[in-house]
Amino acid sequence: MAWHIHQLVTGIHIFLAIIWVGGILFVGWGVYPAVKSLQFADQRQFLTSMMRKTHWLFTLAGAGVITTGVLLGTWLGPIHHWNDILNTYYGNIWVTAFFIAIMTLLWGIFTGYRQTMKMLSDKLLWEQAEQGNPKPLKNKMISITALEFIEVIGFMVMIVCMILLG
């Protein structure tokens, strides 16, 4: 029975991680570049709507990954005391994944999302682009891409942690 629960929670954990990591990478590497071929007004409208609609899904998926990761390591795993976190290899890797996940999720909410929405609501930036001066908008988009890259590094570290835990 315990084995079935462990497999079920692992399945949910992996499914949510696919939505969180895959969703954000698809938006950043697939949707965002493709949108650039649209007219500026359409880009702005589409990106605003997409960000509003996907933001909560990705945040909830990230929170679900952390919750199931905590259950897998503690209730269903070998961590039963605070000492197990500090004094075992498994505990060290698990707590690294835990903190990196929290930081990555908060970074996504408070930096990535907020900065993108700020850029999308900056009327002047978009008006300048429509009038033939897209440079300030492009520069802002480049700086947001750089901010988002920190999230990608967080995902990479977590994946390495998962390989080391498995």
Rg (CA), the chain: 19
Which DSSP letter does residue 80 get?
-
Smallest CA-to-CA distance from 150 within 26, 50, 28 is with 28
- For the record, the structure tokens of 54 come out as 């996907």
Q: Closest residue (Cβ) to ligand HEM?
A: 69
Contact yes or no for 61/20 (Cβ under 8 A): yes
Choose between 104 and 116: whose C-beta lies nearer to ligand HEM. Answer: 104
Q: Is 94 in the site for ligand HEM (CB under 6 A)?
A: yes
Q: Is 97 in the site for ligand HEM (CB under 6 A)?
A: yes
Q: Is 91 in the site for ligand HEM (CB under 6 A)?
A: no
CA distance to 6, 16, 32, per residue, from 13 (Å): 10, 5, 27
Q: Which position among 27, 47, 61, 65 is part of the footprint of ligand HEM (CB under 6 A)? A: 65
Q: Is 16 in the site for ligand HEM (CB under 6 A)?
A: no
Q: Which residues contribute to the site for ligand HEM (CB under 6 A)?
A: 10, 13-14, 17, 21, 65-66, 69-70, 72-73, 77, 94, 97-98, 101, 155, 158-159, 162, 165-166
